[in-house]
Structure 1
Amino acid sequence: MTGFFSQDLLFGLMGGLGLFLFGMKIMSEGLQKVAGNRMRKILAALTNNRYVAAFVGLAVTAIIQSSSATTVMVVGFVNAGLMSLVQAIGVVLGANIGTTITAQLIAFKITKFALPAIGIGTLMKLFCKDKKNIYLGEILLGFGILFYGMSVMKEAFDPIKGSEQFRQVFLLVDNHPLLAVAIGALMTVIVQSSSATIGITLALATSGLISFEGSVALILGENIGTTVTANLAAIGTNVAARRTALSHFLFNFLGVTYMLVLLPYFVEFVNAITPGDADLVVTTQQQAHEFGLAVGDKPYIARHIANTHTLFNIINTLVFLPIIGVLANLATRLVPGKDSQLDFQLKYIDSRVLNTPPLALSQARSETNRMALLALECVDETLQFLDKADLRMLESLRKKEDLLDLLQREIIDFLVAISQRPISQEASREISSLMHVVNDLEKIGDYCENLWQLGERRIEQRIRFSSVAEAEVVDLAQKTREFVSFIQKAFERRDQTIIEKAQFMENQIDTLEAQLRDNHIQRLNTGECSVNPGLIFIDMIHNFEKIGDHTHSIARAIIGKK
């Protein structure tokens, strides 16, 4: 009989946990599809105010129902230079509170709605045409699967309530808080989801297998285990991103440490503010019917555990928010190294000068020149990458392209804001020209991206050009680079006498590109070149020619013809 029950437990736990995790994934992905892009924009636009950062982290995580997704996003932002270490710590502190919403939802006795939610969610996902309704269907489907998995796990534990062996095992958890913390952390590391391990804890506790105090210790351990996700996401990132992930571990670990010391008082506090006796056990069929549970279950413990999870993270956030700087310094000492990164902040634009349009326009011009210098750097690094074929250079190139995209958005928004003020016709024309310049500079970044992706393909597929083809690409690349450099300097000087030279350089690039195409066709005909290298060669010279086109377009904008 014991073997039957242990197999039943194993299969029920595996299946229930699998359903819970799958449901959590579908629900979180659905929520992120509905709100994800807006969440990323909100995170990326944070100020340095630590309290605002914490609130945003809380809100974002509560909406997308995944602290892992929030912390991974934050690590990505820090890695890209979009967010400072202090900002990131604030967001992650808030995310810790936001993730407790899952436990609060699970604590509601809504398991009976799991199957209808699965049915309605599936119908919406399969038969709705509108994307928003499809995403809402995914949320509902995930929600239903999550709760159904929860009920499967709970039912798996029900048959072992009378087993003395299992009671002895769980008594260890109840009597040794440090062991319970270690088990909670290990479980979370293994399943990579604090929500799932909290689900298991709720199932164990509701089935009457562990006491409330034992559950609290498990919850504390799960808060340590969940930090592993961010630390895994930080592998291979820059120093600041690794410091962010370490900070997540530090404040959860330190929080658990002081909470263990204060454990009896903390348990007493949770009991005081949560209705019902956490360790009350259903003893009669009448009670079981009244609570919608089985005999031996604990009807109030789920809410106590959910409140424990939420309160621990609220208290921990309140403790560490005022000393984020200290935490950042500690993380900096523990992860030494100089972090070289691009400045992803606007350097010259300040929205406070919008009421003085001439000054605002001057700032926009300076920021655009910064963007032009960055585009030139992007071209230079792309040529170096094509020459050296060093994949380690791609991270820097991606960051530069991301910064070009960011600057394009911010400068255009700023120029639009200036245009809505009372301005002269001359200022209006300059705004129009600057918009063209900014858009063309961003396009140069896009074509650089195409070029390094082609270079990446060459490396992965081990494609080699003939010495003649290699020399031709270098020649065209150099002429393109010279054109971009010439126009950047002309923009900086506001030189209006450049159009003849710009037209000459553009014609030179166009003529050379056409000539190289003809040469390539001849090599194909004579068998000197094969198809795969040829396709990459044609794509490369086409992208250089497009950079030339957009550079010439900038020249036209400089002299006021665009």
Structure 2
Amino acid sequence: MLDILLNQTLIFGLFGGLGLFLFGMKIMSEGLQKVAGDKMRKILSALTANRFISTLVGLSVTAIIQSSSATTVMVVGFVNAGLMSLYQAIGVVLGANIGTTITAQLIAFKITAYALPAIGAGTALKLFSRNRKWVYAGEILLGFGILFFGLATMKEAFEPVKTSVEFRDMFLLVGDHYLLGVFIGAVLTIIVQSSTATLGITLALATSGIISFEASVVLILGENIGTTITANLAAIGTNLAARRTALAHFLFNLIGVAYMVAFLPIFMNLVDMITPGAADFVIETQNQAASFGGSVGDKPFIARHIANTHTLFNIINTLIFLPMIGILAKLSTLLIRGKDVEMEYHLKYIDSRVLNTPPIALGQARAETRRMAQMTLEMLEGTIEFLADNNDKSIPALEKKEEAVDLLQREITDFLVALSQQSISQDSSKDIASLMHMVNDLERVGDHCENLWRLGLRRKGEKVTFSEIANAEIQEIGEKSKDFLSFTVQALERQDKTIQEKASFMEEEIDQLEETFRNNHIARLNTSECAVDPGLIFVDMLHNFEKIGDHTFNVTRAIIGQK
């Protein structure tokens, strides 16, 4: 038995095949995300409190990215950011469990013979095509081919153990002891962090004739529990709602597996009814028949049975729990007690847990950038008000906003740098560069606001008085700067790329005001209407407002796509 387990062909084939399987899944998933990135954002934006729509969203997104773990991790991130309620999140998770079964259905088709041609065609498209869509199609095809080649490699690796009575007896225990099989399936999934990978191992064992359909079913049930661990690990360090979402996912699958094990014979009969062929029908070889009385050989129908088992379990479980989402939410709230303490300034949208899903990560970065822009506008409005009334009670709030803008600039930039290192499309790469320019220019606007209120504090501390004309001019250029930034923030919200002409006009208007008011000041100096000390502060204020206009214009260029 030990010699069998230590067999070099088995070890190398299993680990190499599993590595190819996981790598193929990754490439295929990334290709699908690049093709369907915009669709994913639109699907997620359709979320409502309606449990059926939330479930359809979860199903659709998971079908697109081919990973329920990725979907649930995204959902945990959204709940943590306050973008999604616990009620909505549970609906998405229910749908994700059905969506992930599409992979199993694809794998169950007898197309492993086409793995190498798919790899060849996919590589050719990826390396030699000039059209981005064909490149992405090549990635999908390449990933698909590598995935099936890995599956075939794992199946071939089990050939040496097919003649081992001890190895077969060990797996007979799984069929006889359901809870042991569930435990093994869950542990394997936790180790490889992919229920699809564990499903691939199960398919390789089953189609090779090593394990029975009954043993396959309990392993699959265990895999459904193991896949929930990823989301629970991602929820560590998040807020209460996010941890409750991850727990709800675990409870949903755990309870589902519990009642399914209790009614396993009925469930297996249902799968047999909807699936053609006998699950444990064996195509025997002459040597196998002689050695084992015809009990060992390949099973041609079991792959489809396994895929249907996976799909049917999740459909039944979802239909049962769909009317009980509220109860599931209350149960997870009961088990994880407490109340979240809201921070005034913190990252709200971006979450590093979704970096492996670039379209979603890019959407989060945009949302955080819009929030940063809004906060910068509020800081400019507060600064203009302070310069008008000289009430320094507003300074602590302005300082907090300035710190928050600095924080957002650092965090968004770090997030975008990490995102740029993922496998992303050319369009996404351009969007990342534009967002980096935006956050840097918005941070510079914040710096100039800080300069302005510090000049105001200096004016107040030194008891410097502006003439009425000077005060009016500061307010006028301030209002123009505010209007320009407000116009830009609204354009950013709408993703309006038709703003170039108006943005150029507004920026030029601020430049002309700065030049006119500076010349007016020089004229007042010459006629002794204005003193030197107030004049220095006045000119510095004009300069800062002019710079705010310049950086705001840079933001508009980034929105248009010129930066």
Contact 1:382 1:451 in 2 (8 A): no
Deviation at 1:235, TM superposition (A): 2.4
The AA in structure 2 aligned to 1:503 is I
Larger RCO, structure (CA 8 Å, separation 6 or more) = 2
Q: Assess if the C-alpha contact under 8 Å between 1:444 and 1:550 holds in 2.
A: no
Give 2:222's aligned residue.
221
For residue 71 of structure 1, what is the aligned residue in structure 2? Answer: 72
Q: Deviations over 1:326-366 (max 9, x none)?
A: 11111122222323389999xxxxxxxxxxxxxxxxxxxxx
Distance 1:475 1:18, change over 3 A: same
Deviation at 1:281, TM superposition (A): 1.3
Residue 74 of structure 2 corresponds to residue 85 of structure 1: no
Matches within 5 A, 1:531-550: 546-547=547-548
Within a 5 Å distance, the mapping from 1:185-196 to structure 2 comes to: 185-196=186-197
Per-residue deviation at 1:238?
2.2
Q: Which residue of 1 aligns with 2:233?
A: 232
CA distance in 2, matches of 1:189, 1:319: 26
Contact kept? 1:376, 1:481, Cα under 8 Å: no
Deviation at 1:41, TM superposition (A): 2.9
Counterpart CA distance in 2 for 1:338 and 1:295 is 58
Q: Measure, in 1, the Cα distance between the counterparts of 2:303 and 2:35.
A: 29
CA distance in 1, matches of 2:149, 2:112: 7
Q: Which runs of 5+ in 1 are unaligned?
A: 289-293, 346-367, 403-441, 456-471, 483-496, 515-541, 554-562
Q: TM-score, normalised by structure 1?
A: 0.66
Using the TM superposition, give the Cα deviation of residue 2 of structure 1 relative to its aligned residue in structure 2, in angstroms. Answer: 7.1
Aligned match of 1:503: 477
Question: Do the aligned partners of residues 395 and 201 (structure 1) sit closer, same or farther apart at CA in structure 2, a change above 3 Å counting?
Answer: farther
Q: State how far apart, in whole Å, the 1-side matches of 2:323 and 2:183 are.
A: 29
Q: Which residue of 2 aligns with 1:95?
A: 96
Structure-to-structure mapping, 1:33-48, within 5 angstroms: 33-48=34-49
Give unmatched runs, 5+ long, in structure 2.
290-294, 350-369, 383-395, 417-434, 459-470, 482-509, 519-542, 555-563
Q: Is this contact kept in 2: 1:22–1:145, CA < 8 A? A: yes
CA RMSD of aligned residues (A): 4.5
Once residues 298 and 443 of structure 2 are traced to their aligned partners in structure 1, the CA distance between those partners, rounded to angstroms, is 61
Q: Distance in 2 between matches of 1:251 and 1:161?
A: 36
Deviation string for 1:492-531 (max 9, x for gaps)? xxxxx987613268799989xx9xxxxxxxxxxxxxxxxx
The aligned residue for residue 3 of structure 1 is 3
| Whole-Å separation in 2 of the counterparts to 1:261 and 1:92 | 24
Residue 400 (structure 2) aligns with: 384
User: In 1, Cα distance between the equivalents of 2:119 and 2:89?
Assistant: 36
In structure 1, what residue type is equivalent to 2:476? A
Distance 1:372 1:17 in 2: 48
Structure 1 match to 2:356:
none
Specify the SS of the correspondent of 1:124.
helix
Match of 2:205 in 1: 204
Match of 1:155 in 2: 156
Moved more, 259-268 or 312-321: 259-268
Conserved 8 A contact 2:477-2:545: no
Task: Give, in whole Å, the separation in 2 of the partners of 1:481 and 1:144.
Answer: 67
Q: Relative to 1, partners in 2 of residues 1:272 and 1:286: Cα closer, same or farther, differing over 3 Å?
A: farther
Question: Percent identity at matched positions?
Answer: 62
| Alignment check: 8 A CA contact 1:36 1:64 kept | no
Aligned counterparts of 2:456 and 2:242: Cα–Cα separation in 1: 36
Q: How many positions carry a matched residue from both structures?
A: 425
Distance 1:449 1:286 in 2: 74
After TM superposition, give the deviation of residue 135 of structure 1 in Å: 0.5
- Going from structure 1 to structure 2, the CA distance change for 1:303 and 1:544 (only over 3 Å counts) comes to farther
Is the alpha carbon distance of 1:304 and 1:448 closer, same or farther for their aligned partners in structure 2, counting shifts above 3 Å?
same
Q: Provide the rounded CA distance (Å) in 2 between the counterparts of 1:197 and 1:280.
A: 23
| Residue of structure 2 in register with 1:14 after alignment | 15
TM-score w.r.t. structure 2 length?
A: 0.66
User: In the TM superposition, what is the alpha-carbon distance from 1:448 to its structure 2 partner?
Assistant: 7.8
Distance (Å, rounded) in 1 between the aligned partners of 2:259 and 2:24: 34
CA contact (8 A) 2:23 2:147 kept: yes
Superposition pairs of residues 387-398 of structure 1, within 5 angstroms: none
Distance 2:10 2:553 in 1: 71
Q: Kindly report which structure 2 residues correspond to 1:81-480, keeping only aligned pairs within 5 A, or say none.
A: 81-284=82-285, 296-339=297-340, 340=342, 375-376=377-378, 383-384=399-400, 446=439, 450=443, 475-476=451-452, 478=454
CA contact 1:28–1:64 (8 Å) conserved in 2: yes
Structure 1 328/117 Cα, relative in aligned 2: closer, same or farther at 3 Å? same
- Deviation for aligned residue 1:192: 0.7
Secondary structure of the 1:277 match is: coil
1:272 positional shift: 1.6
Q: In the TM superposition, what is the alpha-carbon distance from 1:108 to its structure 2 partner?
A: 0.6
Q: Which letter maps to 1:29?
A: E
- Counterpart residue identity of residue 501, structure 1: Q
How far residue 245 of structure 1 moved from its aligned partner, in angstroms, is 1.4
User: Is the Cα–Cα contact under 8 Å of residues 54 and 88 in structure 2 kept in the other structure?
Assistant: yes
- 1:189 is aligned with what amino acid? I
CA-CA distance at 1:256 after TM superposition:
0.7
